[in-house]
Amino acid sequence: MRAYQILPGDGIDGLQCVDFPHRELGNGEVRIRVHAVSLNYRDLMVASGNYLVTVDDPIIPCSDGAGEVVATGPGVTRVQPGDRVAASFFPYWQDGPTAPDKVRHALGGDVDGMLAEEVVLDEDALVKIPDAMSFVDAATLPCAGVTAWNAIFESSNAVRPGDTVLLLGTGGVSILGLQLARAAGLNAIITSSSDTKLQRAKELGARHVINYRTTPEWQEEVLRATDGAGAQVVLEVGGQGTVNRSIASTAMGGSIAIIGGVSGFGGEVNPATLLATAKRLVGVYVGSRAMLEKVVRFAEATGLQPVVDRVFTFDQAREAYRHMESGSHFGKVVITVT
């Protein structure tokens, strides 16, 4: 079977397609024929060697994939051949709050990931997907979908229908956050560097859109759009360049889910901007298998179809990475495998 490998730090040109022999399945292991893989900003960080965790040997990249179970090892009870499944970002975080042991490994980060024709995973890392959900759609959920879900529905103060969620930029996490928010009856405000992308976000139901290039003090616009109240939840993916504006955009008692740093990490936060307003900064690190199950169930119940910007073939993996790197995408970038 063929799989891509990359040595973190070697860049996109370091992606190599390699032939691997089959290996025997051990206790509790499952062989999956991968049909689709989605890319995350994190996969660019792994390629450039800037991800949180790293390894000294080449790994199979990408956390997010979906496919079909083709064989099960001894003792497997959760799935059977023919089942359609997606893999959970953290193979050892099944449920409950996070813990060091649960997030000790992440697919495509420090252990082999999903950019392969076949993968072998522990049965506990798998979530069944409904027949009506395509492999392409399912492949968008494990990182971006779960992160947005966790930020809005699990880690922040309870949101209620009619509350407002603020999303920064129109990448994978933000557009899935927009879709989840709208499907749950929440108002959404979204920013982007592109008016064309903002128009598309409006068509997806964003109530208010702001171009952060032409409106650099966009937090003022968020407050105006919410009659001075601010957003109950902010999905903060910007980092250094946006976190203080995100705090200013948040309602009293609201939460700023600290997710990413597309503008870099660092900078300062003044504690005084949080205390009298009881705002909460909450770190979000993807989420558990149980959260992935909830996202899948929610998508099935609401008919949510993740926005897929472009689909590349397995042989075009480098092109897919470069497309993601260009920042021209809106929503998710997917690679179909078999």
Ligand X SMILES: NC(=O)c1ccc[n+]([C@@H]2O[C@H](COP(=O)([O-])OP(=O)(O)OC[C@H]3O[C@@H](n4cnc5c(N)ncnc54)[C@H](OP(=O)(O)O)[C@@H]3O)[C@@H](O)[C@H]2O)c1
In angstroms, rounded to a whole number, what is the distance separating the alpha carbons of residues 238 and 262?
5
Binding string, 117-146, against ligand X, x = CB under 6 A?
--------------------------xx--
Q: Which of 244, 285, 290, 319 binds ligand X (CB under 6 A)?
A: 285
Question: Does 177 sit near ligand X (CB under 6 A)?
Answer: no
Q: Which of 66, 126, 166, 168 binds ligand X (CB under 6 A)?
A: 168
Cα angle 294-296-301, degrees, rounded to a multiple of 5? 90
Shortest CB 59 distance to ligand X, Å: 17
Question: Does 197 sit near ligand X (CB under 6 A)?
Answer: yes
Q: Which of 15, 85, 86, 173 binds ligand X (CB under 6 A)?
A: 173
Question: Does 262 sit near ligand X (CB under 6 A)?
Answer: yes
Q: Which of 79, 206, 237, 256 binds ligand X (CB under 6 A)?
A: 237
Instruction: Considering the complex, state which of residue 69 and residue 321 has its C-beta at the smaller distance from ligand X.
Output: 321
How do 231-236 and 208-211 pair as beta strands?
unpaired
Contact between residue 26 and residue 68 where contact means Cβ atoms under 8 Å apart? no
Shortest CB 9 distance to ligand X, Å: 17
* Helix ranges (DSSP H) in the chain: 41-48, 135-139, 146-149, 172-183, 195-203, 218-225, 243-248, 272-275, 289-302, 317-326
Positions in 13-32 near ligand X (CB under 6 A): none
What φ, ψ does residue 23 adopt, rounded to 5°? Answer: -125, 155
DSSP, residue by residue, 40-66 = -HHHHHHHHT-SSS--SS-B---SEEE
Shortest CB 193 distance to ligand X, Å: 3
By three-state DSSP, how is residue 21 classified?
Answer: coil
Shortest CB 101 distance to ligand X, Å: 17
Contact between residue 53 and residue 111 where contact means Cβ atoms under 8 Å apart? no
Q: Which of 91, 145, 261, 306 binds ligand X (CB under 6 A)?
A: 261
Contact between residue 98 and residue 59 where contact means Cβ atoms under 8 Å apart? no
Positions in 85-124 near ligand X (CB under 6 A): none
Give the position of tokens 């809106």: 330
Instruction: Considering the complex, state which of residue 191 and residue 255 has its C-beta at the smaller distance from ligand X.
Output: 191
Longest pairwise C-alpha distance within the chain: 61
Shortest CB 232 distance to ligand X, Å: 19
Question: Does 327 sit near ligand X (CB under 6 A)?
Answer: yes
Contact between residue 201 and residue 190 where contact means Cβ atoms under 8 Å apart? yes
Give the interface segment with ligand X, choosing from 65-73, 108-116, 164-172, 220-228 (CB under 6 A).
Answer: 164-172
Positions in 217-236 near ligand X (CB under 6 A): none
In the complex, which residues of this chain contact ligand X (CB under 6 A)? 40-42, 143-144, 147, 168-174, 191-194, 197, 212, 237-238, 241-242, 259-263, 284-286, 324, 327
